[in-house]
Amino acid sequence: MTHLAFSTMKWCFSARRIDPVLATGLKEDLAQAAPGDMILGRVISIGNHTRIQLPSGRPATLYPGDLVALPCGARYAPDQFEGVAEIDPKSCDMLAGGGCVGLMRQRNERIKPPTQIQPLGRITGPDGRVLNTRDFALLERLSTRSLPAICVIGTSMNSGKTTAAVALSHGLTRAGYRVGALKATGTGSFGDFNKLVDSGAAYVADFSDAGMATTYLEPMERVIGGIDVLLAASASQGCDIAVVEIADGIFQRETAALLADPAVQARFGGFIFACGDAVAAAGGVLCMAEMGIRPMMLTGMLSCSPIAAAEAEHATGVSVLTKRQLEDPAEANALAAQAGVTELDRAA
């Protein structure tokens, strides 16, 4: 592979911590590809993903014949694909616009088949080693203090989790807090990341900063370790509180395991639950109760309807807050206090 070819490739957002200039060679042993390995591929045909998200924060249109650099990874997205971190030398699938390539196993029938990629090899650096996202993660460091954190979870994709996390991050910022806005699980994408940046949060990071282009099918200890890395980084940046979004729904593999773990629960001072209607609220609150969790409040698509909100409050006994209320400094401050933030925490 020539230097010119590497200079024309489109590098993805989820691998933004790796400098593309490090790409100097290829290993063609694609069967050895591991999650996080950077794969150089050529676009065969355009499917569901017509664009790739660049590290600069803008999308680039894809054309057949384009060279792309994507990390090998799995994906879990009920609205799109489920795929695994495997590379077929003949053809593989672009599973996410933010950067994830593997083999699709299932897709939502409402969307197109995935964009097809011809893998050319695993990208190597100047030392001949394969470039892997884990080797460019934030350094693990022990925080000198425990950072208060609020966790945002939901029923599924598109239940309103990110909207709630962004709104609360903005409300806390308006209330005078230095906020660490974090996305702990999911598949790399600049959409949610940019929204958190726009909220005014003092520090924004996601699981890709912890070395994972996607958290689906990653070992649980690595996912938990990633959360700790992000919380410690927020503390080191002088944050008073963290707002942590956990992707997908409470039945998803990694989410369910995280929520069922008492040690993980103890990392958070409170939980916010986003859902679409009163039935989802009632079912979700019941399921969380079996895990030993009672949410501080409900929000999400549910909160757009006063009638649905009233039904949910009656069924669960948990208050519903709208996006606008989460953005209100007084409401945000009350949630911070409920999550255990003290003036000492803020002074630190």
Q: pLDDT for 15-41, tens place per residue?
A: 999 999 999 999 999 999 999 999 999
Angle at Cα 296 formed by Cα 291 and Cα 226, nearest 5°? 60
pLDDT of residue 343: 60
pLDDT per position as a tens digit, 270-288? 999 999 999 999 999 999 9
Which tokens go with 206? 């996601």
Q: Is there a single domain that holds both residue 159 and residue 122?
A: no
Residues 147 and 172: their CA atoms lie apart, in Å, by 15
What share of residues in the chain are helix, strand, coil (percent, to 5)?
35, 25, 40
* Residue 330 located in a structural domain: yes
State which of 73, 102, 132 marks the end of a domain.
132
Give 135-176 pLDDT, tens digit per residue: 999 987 655 568 999 999 999 888 899 999 999 999 999 999
Phi, psi of 334, rounded to the nearest 5 degrees: -65, -40
217 and 107 housed in the same domain = no
Per-residue pLDDT averaged across 265-274, rounded? 97
Greatest alpha-carbon pair distance for the chain in Å reads 65
Provide the number of structural domains found in the chain.
2
Q: Are residues 171 and 92 in the same domain?
A: no
Residue 157 confidence (pLDDT): 81
Rounded distance between C-alpha atoms, residue 346 and residue 28, angstroms: 52
> In the predicted model, is pLDDT for residue 182 greater than 60?
yes
Least confident of 37-46, 133-142, 201-210, 217-226: 133-142
Please indicate, yes or no, if residue 138 is contained in any of the structural domains: no
Burial letters 273-284, b for 16+ CB under 10 A, else e:
bbbbbbebbbbb
**Containing structural domain, residue 282:** 149-347
- Distance set, CA 180 to CA 16, 21, 184, 263, 300 (Å): 19, 30, 12, 21, 21
Q: Three-state DSSP class for 170?
A: helix
> Does one domain contain both 165 and 267?
yes
Phi then psi dihedrals of residue 83, to 5 deg: -150, 165
| DSSP calls for 121-169 | EEEE-TTSPBPBGGGGSPPP---SSPPPEEEEEESSTTSSHHHHHHHHH
Structure confidence by residue, pLDDT tens digits, 275-332: 999 999 999 999 999 999 999 999 999 999 999 999 999 999 999 999 999 999 999 9
If one counts every other C-beta atom within 10 angstroms of the C-beta of residue 139, the result is 8
Does 278 fall in a domain?
A: yes
Decide which of 103, 132, 161 is a domain's last residue. Answer: 132
Confidence band, pLDDT 50/70/90 cuts, at residue 204: very high
Instruction: Say whether 50 sits in a helix, a strand or coil.
Output: coil
Rounded CA gap, 48 and 25, in Å?
29
Chain mean pLDDT for the chain:
94
Q: What's the whole-number mean pLDDT along residues 259-277?
A: 97
Average pLDDT over residues 229-257: 96
One domain for residues 12 and 94: yes
Q: Could you tell me if residue 279 is inside a domain?
A: yes
